[in-house]
Amino acid sequence: MQTIGFLGLGIMGSAMAKNLLKAGFKVTVWNRSQDKCAELAAVGAGVAATPAEVTSSCAITFAILADPAAAHAVCFGADGALEGIGAGRGYVDMSTVDAATSGEIGAAISDKGGRFLEAPVSGSRKPAEDGTLIILAAGDRALFDLALPCFEKMGKKSLYLGEVGRGAQMKLIVNMTMGGMMTIFCEALALADKAGLSSADLLDVIDAGAIANPMFKMKGAQIAQGAFNPAFPLKHMQKDLRLAVALGDSLGQPLFTAAAANESFKRAKALGLSDQDFCAVFRAIAS
């Protein structure tokens, strides 16, 4: 059995790599903070010292990093993933980045004879743990087909969207929608509170009607409890909103609501809520 590489063991990556191991894949992992590799090593993963060591020894390497800067550094840095890429080796970047960053990484991988696929995911901690992510892939179609058995253990749906950039754009649009929904939801909760209405009653009304959805149900309960343990850190949502607004600028598409949501998340970051769950934007809105 060929060894699968995995770079990045944060909230998402650690759960995704564990699901590959549970499914019987041989997996070699790397993380900037090496202590995070210990938990994976305990359940059978090999541990590499550098990204280059992973890509040079694995037929396919998956990467999921925090932001464009991290994805770029892991690929292009000293002993980075690019240094280990050779003819036919696949690199699947599952980070949420802008299309330009994805395109730069993809071109560099291709120039070294490798194959590239961007494959950002829709979902947070629980879907990552349950293997029910939605995978938004674009790039090398043959690599998509090779990676599909792994995708099927990490997600419940895998889409092939065409050329590099389309997966990145789709992910930003999905997260932009989620960020906008969260801000108006938090404004509704804050307004109900100011009006002396029960938040439990508001949540009950929403859940019974046409705008009911799993996010409102789950995050409404968290907000009511003041529990903001991160399934999806607030700083990452603000990054995605920023990138989505920039995408709108590049295409001449006004994004009034997304821009307003971005300002709410920026205020939440200024209040020190970066590492809390993204529903902690409620604190910025209700304050």
pLDDT digits (tens, 9 = 90+) for 230-279: 999 999 999 999 999 999 999 999 999 999 999 999 999 999 999 999 99
Burial 33-45 (b: 16+ CB within 10 A, else e): eeebbeebeeeeb
Domain range summary for the chain, segments of one domain joined by +: 3-164, 169-286
Q: Does the domain at residues 3-164 carry the CATH identifier 3.40.50.720?
A: yes
**Residue 171 catalytic?**
yes
* Average pLDDT estimate for 144-154: 98
**Is residue 12 within 8 Å of residue 62, measured between CB atoms?**
no
pLDDT tens digits, one per residue of 74-130: 999 999 999 999 999 999 999 999 999 999 999 999 999 999 999 999 999 999 999
Torsion over CA: 175, 247, 115, 59 (sign): negative
**Is residue 234 within 8 Å of residue 268, measured between CB atoms?**
yes
pLDDT of residue 2: 81
Give yes or no for residue 1 having a pLDDT over 70.
no
pTM passes above 0.85: yes
CA distance 87 to 66: 27
Burial 150-167 (b: 16+ CB within 10 A, else e): bbebbbeebbbbeebbbb
For the domain made up of 169-286, give the CATH fold: N-(1-d-carboxylethyl)-l-norvaline Dehydrogenase; domain 2 (1.10.1040)
> What distance lies between CA 92 and its chain's CA centroid?
13
CA distance 278 to 81: 30
Binned at pLDDT 50, 70 and 90, residue 53 comes out as very high
Catalytic residue among 171, 219, 239, 269: 171
